[in-house]
Chain A
Amino acid sequence: MGLLAAKRDIVQQLQKEVLSLQQSKKPVVDKPLNIGLGELLSAFPNKTFPTGTVHEFISPNIEYAAATNGFICGLLDQLMLQKGPCLWISTRRTIYPPALKLFGIDPERIIFIDLERPKQVLWAIEEGLKCEDISVVIGELSELGFTESRRLQLAVESSNVTGFIHRYQPRSENTVACTTRWMIKPVSSITGDMPGVGFPRWEVQLVKVRNGKPGSWQFEWRGGQFHSIAPQRFSIIKNQRLKTG
Chain B
Amino acid sequence: MAKRYVAIWFRHLVTDWMIRRRPELKGVPFVLAAPERGRMVVRSASAEAQAKGIYPNMVVADCKAILPSLQVLDDIPGQDDKLLNALTEWCIRYTPIVALDLPDGLILDASGCSHLWGGEQAYLKDMINRLSGFGYHVRAAMADTAGTAWAISRFGQITPIIKSDRQLDALLPLPPAALRLEPVILERLNKLGLHTIGSFIRMPRTALRRRFGQILLQKLDQALGQEMESILPVRPIEPYQERLPCLEPIRTATGIEIALQQLVEKLCERLEKEDKGLRRCVFKGYRIDGNIQQIDIGTNRPSRNVKHLSKLFENKIVQIEPDLGIELFILEAPIVEDLTSAQDALWNSTTASDNRAVAELLDRIAGKTGMDTIRRYLPNESYWPERAAKLATSLQEKPTTEWRIDMPRPVNLLPKPELIDVTVQMPDYPPMLFKYKGKLHNISKADGPERIEQEWWLRNGHYRDYYCVEDNDGARYWLFRLGPYTGNEPKWFLHGFFA
Contact = CB atoms under 8 A, between A and B. Distances in A.
Contact of A94 (B350, B364, B404, B415): B415
A52 interface: no
Given A66-B499, A108-B398, A200-B498, A81 B350 contact: yes
A101 B405 contact: yes
B473 interface: yes
**Residue among B392, B399, B411 with the most chain A CB within 10 A?**
B411
A98 B389 CA distance: 7
Given A94-B415, A133-B353, A188-B474, A113 B374 contact: yes
Contacts of B499: 66-67, 69-71, 73, 186, 200, 202, 221
Given A132-B357, A133-B353, A188-B444, A111 B362 contact: yes
A11 interface: no
Interface in B375-395: 375-379, 385, 388-389, 392
Contacts of A198: 445
Interface in A102-144: 102, 106-116, 120, 123-124, 127-128, 131-134
A101 B373 contact: no
B445 to A, nearest CB: 5
Contact of A114 (B375, B444, B468): B375
A84 B476 contact: no
A112 B375 contact: yes
Contacts of B348: 84-85
Interface in A147-199: 185-189, 191, 195-198
**Residue among B350, B368, B499 with the most chain A CB within 10 A?**
B499
A94 B403 contact: no
Contact of B389 (A69, A97, A127): A97
B374 A111 contact: yes
Contact of A70 (B364, B392, B411): B411
A115 B361 contact: no
A99 interface: yes
A63 interface: yes
Nearest to A94: B412
B413 interface: yes
B412 A98 contact: no
A120 B368 CA distance: 9
B358 A187 contact: no
A200 B476 contact: yes
Contacts of A13: none
Contacts of B475: 63, 66-67, 186
Contacts of B365: 113, 124, 127
Interface in B313-350: 347-348, 350
Interface of B: 347-348, 350-351, 353-355, 357-358, 361-362, 364-365, 368-369, 373-379, 385, 388-389, 392, 398-399, 403-405, 408-415, 444-447, 468-470, 472-476, 496-499
Given A99-B409, A188-B474, 5 more contacts: A83-B353, A85-B348, A94-B415, A97-B389, A186-B474
The 4 closest A-B pairs by CB, nearest first: A70-B499, A66-B497, A96-B413, A63-B475
22 contacts: A62-B412, A66-B411, A71-B499, A73-B499, A84-B358, A94-B414, A94-B415, A96-B410, A98-B409, A107-B379, A111-B362, A111-B375, A113-B373, A115-B373, A133-B354, A133-B357, A185-B474, A186-B476, A188-B444, A188-B445, A195-B445, A202-B499
